Amino acid sequence: MPSSFSFPQSVRLKTAEDFSTVFKQAKKLNFSEFSVYIRSNNMDCPRLGLAISKKSAKKAVTRNLIKRIIRENFRVNQNKLVGWDIIFVAKFAAGQSSRQQLHAVVQSICKRLEN
């Protein structure tokens, strides 16, 4: 089990095969800023994948901010999300949202996934 304040390679979805498996077998949750795909992974740790395209956020600075916010919330809440593969796919509204709005949305998504 990873410590609660780390984000090691083992909790990341990295390969195209990992992503395609989750996309094919996942439950999809839609929010105004994100589509979230979740799938049980039968592991003792959650795994996170991010898909933030140029269509959702034109500038690299904005895309990186979105990624940092999602990773930070995941890192803090990963002990409550054990056993899930989670992919966040950003929508256009994510690129238009403020930092505070993104924090609030990602926190609410993580709370919803805890249940």
**What CATH number is given to the structural domain containing 83?**
3.30.230.10
Number of domains making up the chain: 1
The pTM assigned to this predicted structure is 0.89
Per-residue pLDDT, 101: 92
Q: Is residue 104 part of a domain?
A: yes
Position 5 scores a pLDDT of: 63
User: Would 1 be classed as within a structural domain?
Assistant: no
The yes-or-no verdict on residue 88 having pLDDT over 90 is yes
Mean of the per-residue pLDDT values of the chain: 89
In angstroms, the CA 7 to CA 75 distance is 6
Mean pLDDT of 14-35: 92
